[in-house]
Structure 1
Amino acid sequence: MTEQSRHMLVEDFEEIAASAPETVTLEFISWRIREKCVGGGSHASAIAWLVRRMYEARPDLYLCARLGLVVEKHRKGRAVPDAVLAPARYFLGDGAWSEAEGILMAVEVTAYDHHALHSDREERPVAYAGVGIPVYLLVDRDAGAVVVHSGPESEHGYYRHRRIHRFGEKITLPEPVGIPLDTEPLKKYVR
């Protein structure tokens, strides 16, 4: 039995995802279909705060929320990060699933769901590093910390650097982002 015959084809997933109701967001990571959780008001507010902060620091970049990305080492995955940072107007003309090339940072804000926590902490770093996204910022509300992954090793699907910063610390996100971030306001977005 071949690898392909044991797993769903990406094209089949895309057809399923396209026909899902607007209230459901589906992803295809590690050969599994998952529903992406809706994080609630505090989750959305944390993302909105990050959007504003990124734009204030770098108006030449846009932090776009909930954009479908082609991910994983062999581009067999489809993920919908909470947000991605890229040059302004970078995604104009793209369809439902954009290529990750050119994205500077993927952002996830944890939802209070066991499966989402596992995905944000374990699967997403592998998927995002696998396509060479330079920085993965995880706002881990459960741990009260931001976790900054950088230095993607695309061939092996991992980040060489991982730094944990407690909410309240002032940090500068690694290049090519290079944006200073005071994480104190993130304390407001923990339930």
Structure 2
Amino acid sequence: MTVTQTEVPLDEFEALAAVAPDNLQIELINGRILVTPAPDGDHSEASRVVARQIIRARDDLWLYEERGLAIPAYRAGRARVDGAVAPDGYFRGQPSWADPSGVLLAVEVTSGGEADAEVDRMDKRDAYAQAGLPVYLLIDRHRGEAVVHWEPSGGRYQHEARAVFGAKIPLPEPFGFDLDTSELA
């Protein structure tokens, strides 16, 4: 992962992101450019496990994979969230970096090295809380656990729950069901 030490203006980031190769993900989080490899097959399978359960519980919602979100809080940011759960059709007509206000749940699945996982654990968690995303679910493949954060206030999530892979973890409203992580173990 490459992280610059200086803040990058939004227009310069968007020019870079527009020409980035498909095998890299380019994001702007808290003023820093983050470059990570494209997800592997196990990453996609973890997203599938989450998506299937959410859609079964709430057929009015969809998990949109690899969705770009404009994260306006704490510096202009751009996050490519692994999964954005929103009502069917929410992203229709939106630009590449969409408005996150209708997203009910952001899903991240760790990949790459430990430094990449720390971005998901801390930087993205904080950016999503600052943007007011109601729920953030982290599938942490490095630690073998699922972590859910909810109720953002003052730029921080007020609650957190953890479950090792193989256990169930409750997802708060508007979901209101236990996510089964047994397929992730």
TM-score w.r.t. length of structure 1: 0.88
Q: Give the paired residue count.
A: 180
- State whether structure 2 residue 64 is matched by structure 1 residue 64: yes
Give percent identity, aligned residues only.
41
Q: Residue deviations 1:1-27, cap 9 Å, x none?
A: xxxxx7321122112111222332210
Distance (Å, rounded) in 2 between the aligned partners of 1:63 and 1:161? 22
| 1:184 counterpart (179, 182, 185) | 182
Equivalent runs, 1:98-109 vs 2, <5 Å: 98-109=98-109
Aligned position for 1:151: 151
Return 5+ residue gaps in structure 2 as ranges.
1-5
Aligned position for 1:3: none
**Contact in 1 for aligned 2:31/2:75 (Cα 8 Å):** no
Distance (Å, rounded) in 1 between the aligned partners of 2:20 and 2:29? 17
Aligned position for 2:21: 21
**Contact in 1 for aligned 2:146/2:165 (Cα 8 Å):** yes
Distance (Å, rounded) in 1 between the aligned partners of 2:150 and 2:72? 16
Distance (Å, rounded) in 2 between the aligned partners of 1:142 and 1:25? 19
Which letter maps to 2:184? L
Distance (Å, rounded) in 1 between the aligned partners of 2:35 and 2:62? 25
**Contact in 2 for aligned 1:106/1:136 (Cα 8 Å):** yes
SS across alignment from 2:142: coil
Aligned position for 1:141: 141
Q: Which has the higher strand share?
A: 2
Equivalent runs, 1:86-125 vs 2, <5 Å: 86-125=86-125
Return 5+ residue gaps in structure 1 as ranges.
1-5
Distance (Å, rounded) in 1 between the aligned partners of 2:46 and 2:85? 15
**Contact in 2 for aligned 1:39/1:110 (Cα 8 Å):** no
Deviates more, 1:57-66 or 1:43-52: 43-52
SS across alignment from 2:184: helix
TM-score w.r.t. length of structure 2: 0.90
Q: Residue deviations 1:88-112, cap 9 Å, x none?
A: 1100011110011011000011114
Distance (Å, rounded) in 2 between the aligned partners of 1:171 and 1:10? 37
SS across alignment from 2:15: helix
**Contact in 2 for aligned 1:72/1:126 (Cα 8 Å):** no
